[in-house]
Chain A
């Protein structure tokens, strides 16, 4: 082991520092020292350099920024001696990232090491590239790395690194590994005897098939073979068994690779695979040795995933559920955890719900597990499996758990309980019970949404009102109740307390007494709410209760001088109003029903999946606009001026904020003016700090007049109120959507769209003019995505039928939505998928072009010269044969151009054109209106100027000829390759549609003469 005394001494010094400050001083001193040494570079020996650079790395690990010496680290890479070179490589890969400028300086040195003969140097170089290699590395090094990987003379040590290095380069630039050229090599690699190389190669394969499974379909049977060999422990070297299990990593990776293939067509391969899986499922037992257990279950859980993916026979599925049922009750916590997680996944994939329900008691037990990770999994599972049949049991368990749960889980827990109670309530009184219990148990964690929601339900259901009132009355007897309980009780008793008037202890005076007891304990935002309740109680007191009136007036008077404007205002207004007698009745009438809307809670649940503080931020963001936006007038959001400021009814304001102005209005009809206020206030209370739903407009007569005058829509669109959070949490797509689309135009599977929450993948099959596209909507996070909508905007030439897209994508689940496509006639128009979903409060939407493009309806066809020329001649000129000189073509070598054409299924027919600079191609086009139609094309390139070429396209249908020509042109001008990004984006003037061939080009072009002959 190479020792570096200086480094050890430094580490020792750092350890002896008594506090952070001392450490910082020591570090600063060292950094200063190193900096000086680097500056006076002259006398620095390689050993010293190496020592300093290690120190820098150590300092970096301690958390200090090391923003110099990068150059020195990089320069060590080209040092002649091993130790310096080594440290150069290691430190560079730790300190720099792939976009660092210095890294470019190293490319040559790295390449020299890779192509050199020294295997140790090769390893170092591969490690660097594998860790931080970027696009430039990919382009310049991929062929060399490929050579190393398939070389028979290299040691396994080098080759396995080469495999992973290539994986990295492929990710940086998928073009560097092309399925056409590489699939056979990849398949050969899977025959590798060395399990180390095989494991790395399998990782490489996983990456390749995740991008293009079709290209690597030849690898599928080999994967099954490997799995068979390992699972049966045939011919596996002893060293590669881990606690008796033949390389669990390779088994797991192999099964991962298999999960990227949509199905397994070949019956015998499928059979062997299922046999192996069966063996794994049945042959794994829980044993004493923890490590052996882990390893065997790693394999087992991967096998479960694969079985779920393959959608095996029912029998095998129920075997899986049975296994999972066993797992969730074993002692080993890791297996319990994974058992619960996989059961949650199982919920989505099969109709295993009923079998899973049998395990409910055990899952509920897991809710009391000492491990919070397991408790969370159990909560997720319970939430997912809840339906009308078991809601009561589950929600009651959640409530019970709530009182003992740790703080970090309570908010999520209470929200989930509230949602389940609302969604699956067998009757509404139970729902009210649950929410009140929730507030009672965990008031701090019950967001306002939850109590707003229960108030909405009670208001909208008359049967529920007396029940709710009596329930809250019971809670009021408790000695200490949460402020939220005071709020909800005050609201409900104010509205519906009079329904209890005949019950003992429920007279208006008694209700006032018990509520007023709480007033000293509440915070000032709750006081206005209590004042409103007092006013309502006073109104409802039958017969009028002079004593009560006196008490309440005293309260109002007391608060007339409150420092809080809201309280002061209400006190003054209610006092004045209550003196009016009959007018009071009119003003304080019962609240109207709320419009039925989707629960805001459900929208919210996702937030909670994030950290608690994050969701708190979102909530706060939502609360911010409340006063300004919600009641003041929802319309301004749409840019229309507030319609309330209409002179003709100057006294009447819906706006509770402007109530104070109302007071100062000299000649406003006070009673009229204020008649709106209290109810508006209460509604305001409801919507305040929430911005979920605009209140129903009061049906009071004044307002009706007002509405007739102004034609204001009486229902305010709740969605117009956008919580600020939306802007703050804008979801950005990952990767370039256009590039993804372009790539998908040339292949049949891949990712169409991705953002942090969802990934939309596409797999397509094309047959003649029919196509079947499957959209894979994968939820990437642990909370459901809701309000999922997918709309297809079809162009006129395509018939598209999208199967039902579910409204919700459960956590970490993938939903498949088949889309049937039929091509009616040739056109380059593109179908668009209008996709949207909600995550938390953010609405995410994307318009995505679907890769159901012209070339998908082509079938490759290679013609001989005997077949080609008669056809070519018979299509003699426009409109069936069109010719155009295309300029601004991205320079491509002929083989590259051949590949490009073949990739969009226009087959190059080699050797047909005598001029080596020209290409001749053919294909068949399918649509409903045209018969299968032969298409021919000829491309004449100019070796002197690769940016222009002459394109001739011919077919039996003039539209087809035109469309195909335009299509090919688009492909040539904007070549949808990843590498395009490197080319400076020169704005290419799209060649005018029917530009006549330039005579100048004609004259110089030998192909032009030939064209006449052809």
Chain B
């Protein structure tokens, strides 16, 4: 496959631009939207799940508090810019009050070319959240036998299905990867049963290899 060059556009510049936009008050905020994640301090929950590659491309992002798309992007970028500057062998925790408001926490894990990130508030235990990332990764590993970034890119819809079986409305739903797999497979069967369109096999020569 082609090596993606897209990852090389200046992310820092982008995030800078977005930040200024928000500061300047151009940032659109509808009447019912919650401004910053953290401001809704009453709600105790996992606030967001993000996956991004080591170049900052979002691969999956789910926010459990509604946020306008620009805000989501800004947060993804800011988180990435902090993550990418962290050395190896340090803790999996980040201070992110400035991004997500008071009492928010972030844990992340770095696997090969991907960062898995969970943002949550004081209602959850940091290490338990770290374990949850491990559960997610182990599940994906079973799903795609030896998961790699491309599996995640091209199975976008399946990623959502898997995630929905683990985190539900900002709460931990299931922590057993075999149980999660069972639920996901059930759904896949249902999809296949009523879907006559040809399946795209997991590895298509054009997509694999390279990178």
Q: Which residues of A contact B (CB under 8 A)?
A: 1-5, 7-8, 11-12, 15-20, 23, 47, 54, 57-58, 60-66, 81-83, 86-87, 90, 94, 97-99, 120, 123, 127, 130-132, 157, 160-161, 164-165, 167-168, 171, 196, 199-200, 203, 206-207, 210, 239-240, 242, 247-249, 252-253, 256, 291, 294-295, 297-298, 301-302, 333-334, 336-338, 369-374, 376, 609-611, 614, 734-735, 754, 756-757, 759, 780-782, 812
Please tell me if the beta carbons of B130 and A754 are within 8 angstroms of each other in the complex. Answer: no
Which residues from A are CB-within-8-Å of B174?
160, 196, 199
Q: Is the CB of A207 within 8 A of B44?
A: yes
A63-B70, A334-B127, A610-B97 known; A127 vs B168 contact (CB < 8 Å): yes
Q: Write the B58-70 contact mask toward A (1 if CB under 8 angstroms, else 0).
A: 1011101010111
- For B40, the closest partner residue in chain A by CB is A734
Distance of A54 Cα from B86 Cα, bound (Å): 34
Chain B interface bracket (under 10, 10 to 19, 20 to 34, 35 or more): 35 or more
B127 x A295 contact (CB < 8 A): yes
Nearest residue in B to A617 (C-beta to C-beta)? B23
Q: Which chain B residues lie closer than 8 Å to A168 at the CB level?
A: 169
Residue from the list A120, A200, A207, A756 in contact with B41, Cβ < 8 A: A756
Q: Which of B158-203 contact A (CB under 8 A)?
A: 158, 160-161, 164, 168-176, 178-179, 183, 186-188, 190-195, 197-202
The answer to whether A3 touches B89 (Cβ under 8 A) is: no
Across the interface, do A334 and B169 meet the contact criterion of CB distance under 8 Å? no
Fill in one digit per residue for B134-175: 1 if any A CB lies within 8 Å of its CB, else 0. 110000000000000000011111101100100011111111
Q: Smallest CB-CB separation from B129: which chain A residue?
A: A298
A478 and B14 CA atoms in complex are apart in Å by 42
Least CB distance, A312 to chain B, in whole angstroms: 19
Are B164 and A371 touching (Cβ within 8 A)? no
Q: Which of A2, A8, A54, A248 contacts B195 (CB 8 A)?
A: A2
A165 CB contacts on chain B under 8 angstroms? 168-169
Candidates A4, A20, A66, A196; contact of B197 at CB < 8 Å: A4
A16 adjacent to B2 (CB under 8 Å): yes
Q: Bound complex: CA of A200 vs CA of B173, how far in Å?
A: 6
The answer, among B42, B69, B155, B178, for a CB contact under 8 Å with A63, is B69
Whether B58 and A61, one on each chain, are in contact in the complex, defined by CB atoms closer than 8 angstroms, is: yes
A-B contact pairs, 10 of them (CB 8 A): A54-B156, A63-B72, A65-B69, A98-B32, A196-B179, A249-B128, A337-B91, A371-B91, A374-B91, A781-B102
Cα A155 to Cα B15 in complex, Å, equals 46
Rounded to whole Å, the gap between the CB of B116 and the closest CB of chain A is 14
Q: Is the CB of A611 within 8 A of B169?
A: no
A83 to B183, CA, bound (A): 15
Residue from A1, A252, A256 within 8 A of B155 (CB atoms) = A1
B107 to chain A, nearest CB (A): 9
Shortest C-beta distance, A206 to chain B (Å), equals 7
- Give Cα A168 to B44, complex, Å: 10
In the assembled complex, the CB of A1008 is this many whole angstroms from the nearest CB of chain B, namely 47
Whether the Cβ atoms of B156 and A11 lie closer than 8 Å is yes
Which B residues are CB-close (under 8 A) to A5?
A: 197-198, 200
B68 partner residues in chain A, CB cutoff 8 A? 65
Q: Which residues of A contact B134 (CB under 8 A)?
A: 291, 294
* Cα of A333 to Cα of B202 in the assembled complex, Å: 37
Leading 10 A-B pairs by shortest Cβ distance: A3-B200, A97-B66, A298-B127, A130-B169, A371-B90, A611-B98, A99-B32, A333-B91, A2-B191, A63-B73
Which of these, A1, A62, A130, A369, contacts B199 with CB under 8 Å?
A1
Tell me the smallest distance from the CB of B170 to a CB of chain A, in Å.
8
Distance between Cα atoms of A66 and B72 in the complex (Å) = 13
Name the residue on A nearest B98 (C-beta): A611
Q: Is the CB of B66 within 8 A of A47?
A: no
Q: Are B198 and A240 in touch, CB under 8 angstroms?
A: no
- Minimal beta-carbon separation of A212 from chain B (angstroms): 15
Whether A291 pairs with B91 at a CB distance below 8 angstroms is no
Contact partner of B164 among A66, A127, A338, A373, CB < 8 A? A127
Residues of chain A lying within 8 A (CB to CB) of residue B183: 123, 157
Q: A90-B164, A97-B32 are contacts. A19–B200 as well, Cβ < 8 Å?
A: no
B75-113 to A contact mask, C-beta < 8 Å, 1/0: 010000000001101111111011001110000000000
Q: Which residues of A contact B128 (CB under 8 A)?
A: 248-249, 252, 295, 298, 302
Q: How far in angstroms is the closest Cβ of chain A from B35? A: 10
User: Cβ of B200 and Cβ of A97 under 8 Å apart?
Assistant: no
Contact across chains for B199 and A298 when beta carbons are under 8 A apart: no
**Choice from B44, B61, B178, B197 contacting A61 with Cβ under 8 Å:** B61
Task: Give B50 Cβ to nearest chain A Cβ, in Å.
Answer: 10
**Closest partner residue, chain B, to A755 (CB atom):** B41
Residue B60 contacts which of A61, A247, A337 (CB distance < 8 angstroms)?
A: A61
Residues of B within 8 Å of A253, CB to CB, are 172
Picked from A66, A120, A611, the residue with its CB within 8 Å of the CB of B187 is A120
Distance from B62 Cβ to chain A, minimum over Cβ atoms (Å): 7
Knowing A82-B191, A373-B93 touch, does A1 contact B131 (C-beta < 8 A)? Answer: no
A324 to chain B minimum Cβ distance, whole angstroms, is 15
Interchain CA distance A302-B170 in the complex, whole Å:
20
Nearest opposing residue in chain B for A128, CB measure:
B169
| Complex contact B9–A167 (CB within 8 A) | no
CB-defined contacts of B24 to chain A, threshold 8 Å: none
B90 adjacent to A333 (CB under 8 Å): yes
In the complex, what distance in Å separates the CA atom of A196 from the CA atom of B173?
A: 7
Q: Which residues of A contact B60 (CB under 8 A)?
A: 61
> Are A242 and B172 in contact, CB atoms less than 8 angstroms apart?
no
Instruction: Provide the residues of chain A in CB contact with B38, threshold 8 Å.
Output: 756
- On whether the beta carbons of B33 and A97 are closer than 8 Å, the reply is yes
Given contacts A160-B173, A239-B178, A333-B91, contact A206 B123 (CB under 8 A): yes
Complex CA–CA separation, A371 to B89 (angstroms): 9
Check: B5 CB closer than 8 A to any chain A CB.
yes
How near does chain A come to B30, taking the closest CB pair, in angstroms? 8
Contact A199 B172 (CB under 8 A): yes
Taking CB atoms, residues of chain A closer than 8 Å to B193 are 82
CB distance from B85 to the nearest CB of A (A): 9
Q: How far is the CA of A16 from the CA of B1 in the complex (A)?
A: 10
Chain B: which residue is nearest A54 at the CB level?
Answer: B157
Q: Are B41 and A734 in contact (CB under 8 A)?
A: yes
CA distance in complex: A759, B44 (Å): 13
Given A4-B197, A782-B102, 12 additional A-B pairs, CB 8 A: A11-B153, A63-B58, A82-B191, A83-B195, A86-B190, A120-B187, A131-B168, A333-B89, A373-B90, A610-B98, A734-B39, A781-B102
**Separation in Å of the B58 CB from the closest CB of chain A?**
6
**Beta-carbon contact of A239 and B90 below 8 Å:** no
From the candidates A2, A18, A200, name the one contacting B192 in the complex (CB within 8 A): A2
B93 touches A82 (CB 8 A): no
Distance in Å: Cβ of B211 to nearest Cβ of chain A: 9
Kindly report which residue of chain A lies nearest to residue B72, judged by CB atoms: A63
Contacts of A3 in B (CB 8 A): 197-201
Q: B157–A370 contact, CB under 8 A?
A: no
Shortest distance between the CB of B92 and any CB in chain A (Å) = 6
Q: Assess the A252–B125 pair: CB atoms within 8 A.
A: yes
CA distance A287 to B164 in the complex (A): 32
- Name which residue of chain A comes closest to B107, CB basis: A334
User: Once the chains bind, are B156 and A1 in contact (CB under 8 Å)?
Assistant: no
Bound Cα distance from A508 to B194, whole angstroms: 96
**Neighbouring A residues of B205 by C-beta, 8 Å:** none
Within 8 Å CB of B102, what residues of A? 756-757, 780-782
CB-defined contacts of B97 to chain A, threshold 8 Å: 609-610, 781-782
Q: Write out the residue numbers on chain A whose beta carbons fall within 8 Å of the beta carbon of B89.
A: 333, 370
Task: Tell whether A18 pairs with B93 under 8 Å between CB atoms, given A8-B154, A12-B206, A239-B178.
Answer: no
Shortest CB distance A198–B (Å): 12
Within 8 A of A (CB), among B1-59: 2, 4-6, 9, 14, 32-33, 38-44, 58
Which of A12, A161, A239 is close to B173, meaning CB atoms less than 8 Å apart?
A161
**For A757, what are the chain B residues with a Cβ–Cβ distance below 8 Å?**
102
Contact A18 B6 (CB under 8 A): yes
Q: Which residue of A lies closest to B158 (CB)?
A: A1
Closest residue of chain B to A87 (Cβ to Cβ) is B157
CA distance A696 to B169 in the complex (A): 59
